[in-house]
Structure 1
């Protein structure tokens, strides 16, 4: 599978170039950037053989099977749709699109074209989360509350992640992970009951908290920030009638993580071995493209995640990102 990269993004070496060296059958074959000089420098540094003069030129390259989209959030839908129209499979960075309407449009286009489109929630491709789900379903009994957080400091306020036109905000960046993890561990799809934002600029959240409700009566809580009093937190907690589970660092468990379970049988800690999340993600993308193996983060899942994000923005009385705002 030959993949082209749209944009000389900082995340691309970690998310694609390094994993491609570990996954047989994958070649990073081309890159394009708005600045050709930047693309050439990126290609030279990372051994990418072809540089295209524009995003469209890369998308139209008949030698490529797939496209990786690590562009700013506001461009995800546009360039995923163009890649799909060109018959390419797409691995699109999170968040999938700017809003749920765009996510549905991408899902419809991918289905009509018969191509694989996958959202890059890489953490789902580490064995940690499947182990956590097994514990939740088998040991905790009826689930009562799920809480997730992803907070980190980003005081560089000129960063595009604070740009409303580029679909930025804490909820869109770190928060999309917290929402996704809550949905992954929770008992069904949640609805939003309330949300409160701290703003960096009009319409742009630097922090967000939200309360949610699951169909069976369980409640949920999401906390995320790029600049707030809570500087660093990447965790999840599930409370059930028979016990609780807590995960520290569900996003990048290959560096460090801790899973703690408390039940009537006592308290135990587990660590779940596995290859880097991005390597597992690339293996899953290849398996989906070549063998038709359904990925864990398909467009239908992305639509559901974007609906929750949209509803949190509505509850916080902030505009939706993108054209739906």
Structure 2
């Protein structure tokens, strides 16, 4: 417990090194509640990031937000931020239904874009946004969908323990307690592309796609509940496996960590100590508890079911082993990750910001969410919404000129 308290204290009160002369200046489009966690706090410990300005539909709200978060400047409009030649990057934590328009406008203005997940409202918008010609130009703008959890050491380690070719089943769940949302929240606003699938569920869908190493062939079933918009979705993968994602924004009273469990096929394991005619086989089941916000708490459990059989199939011996791992830093993850950058006070958003800055600066990145990945993610969301009968979220009328 003491270690957790110390870690979380450092997460929200990180060291604040001096900013470098070439630091990237961010403008924030929207005084959103997620912005301090997703950008402002991580930026404090990054010497190459300055959160320079913010704008909101209500200037008084933007002024209060700027004062509370130590942001120097307030602008009257989002466009004013895009028109400022001294702003290098924009962070877009607006309602989902506005992501497409303002990300496209920012790219056209030559700004690098970090856009909250889900990147857009549906795959139609994703195809347009992630294929804008500016993104393929040398030294053009950088666009990243902020799937922060996939940058955290525990997720990277968990993924490395799994061979997608062996995966036969993936189950993932996330939730927010009933007291964490209310009916008037934008999470439930259909015109603004709200819904549990668009909020928490998108993490679960991404887990299925990444761990299978492929996109689903079909959504076999998808059940939803109105207002609470809880979901239970089953998908079929190309290798014959099945994936199940469930999420709710109106869960039980107690906040429970998100999780994902992967079941793998039985494989033959080389064992030179066995006598002739006997072979060892192993089936693995791996679970990551705390999939989304690993910095608060997480655990990787690896269960191995072992069996030794003779050539005619007779079982000689059976046994199980379970081991647990944690990785609050890449050094703790060890192995091939041991030398990757990061401190214990780096939450997933800080790891994400590190890679975003590296990409903008033209330096190598160790982890990234490609445009193709983001398009595939929205196609999976559309597939589920279509199966549910609700249909994909509305498409913006805005088109890049």
Query: What TM-score do you get using the length of structure 2 for normalisation?
Result: 0.76
- How do 1:256-267 and structure 2 match up within 5 A? 256-263=297-304, 264=306, 266-267=321-322
> SS state of the match for residue 210, structure 1?
strand
Cα drift, residue 313 of structure 1: 0.3
1:108 Cα shift? Answer: 1.3
- Residue matched to 2:390: 318
Which residue does 1:269 correspond to in 2?
Answer: 324
Distance 1:257 1:229 in 2: 20
* Bigger radius of gyration: 2
1:251 aligned to 288, 292, 297, which one? 292
Instruction: Name the residue aligned to 1:82.
Output: 105
Show CA shifts across 1:106-129 (max 9, x none).
Answer: 111252562110011111111111
C-alpha distance in 1 between matches for 2:68 and 2:216: 44
Gaps of 5+ in 2: 1-23, 266-282, 307-319, 330-345
Question: Pick from 353, 356, 367: which aligns with 1:285?
Answer: 356
Whole-angstrom distance in 2 between the partners of 1:300 and 1:150:
25
Secondary structure of residue in 2 paired with 1:37: helix
Residue 43 of structure 1: CA displacement? 1.2
Greater helix percent: which structure?
1
Indicate the residue corresponding to 2:279 in structure 1: none
Contiguous gaps of at least 5 residues in structure 1 = none
- In 2, distance between residues paired with 1:51 and 1:98? 28
* Paired residue secondary structure (1:136): coil
Which residue of 2 is the match for residue 119 of structure 1?
145
Cα distance in 2 for residues equivalent to 1:247 and 1:68: 29
2:175 is aligned with 1:175:
no
Q: Distance in 2 between matches of 1:142 and 1:230?
A: 37
The answer as to whether partners of 2:90 and 2:106 remain within 8 angstroms in 1 is: yes
1 CA distance for matches of 2:88 and 2:114? 11
Report what 1:189 is aligned to.
215
Instruction: State the partner residue of 2:280.
Output: none
From 228, 235, 239, the equivalent of 2:263 is 239
Are the counterparts in 2 of residues 151 and 230 from structure 1 also a CA contact under 8 Å? no
3-state SS of the aligned residue for 1:2?
A: strand
Residue-by-residue CA offset, 1:7-27 (whole Å, 9 max, x unaligned): 111111111111111111111
Paired residue secondary structure (1:206)? coil
* CA distance, structure 1, for counterparts of residue 251 and residue 151 of structure 2: 30
- Cα distance in 2 between the residues matched to 1:125 and 1:292: 17
Cα displacement (A) at 1:228: 4.8
1: CA distance between counterparts of 2:231 and 2:257? Answer: 13
**DSSP-derived class of the 2:369 partner:** coil
Structure 1 residue 153 displacement after superposition: 2.1
Distance in 1 between the 2:47 and 2:193 partners?
35
Per the TM alignment, residue 230 of structure 1 is displaced from its structure 2 partner at its CA by 9.4
Greater displacement, 251-260 / 37-46: 37-46
CA contact (8 A) 1:136 1:185 kept: yes
Secondary structure at the counterpart of residue 194 of structure 2 = coil
Which secondary structure does the structure 1 equivalent of 2:126 belong to? helix
| Deviates further, 190-199 or 215-224 | 190-199
Counterparts in 2 of 1:102 and 1:10: CA distance versus 1, 3 Å:
same
| Kept after mapping to 2: 8 A contact 1:237/1:246 | yes
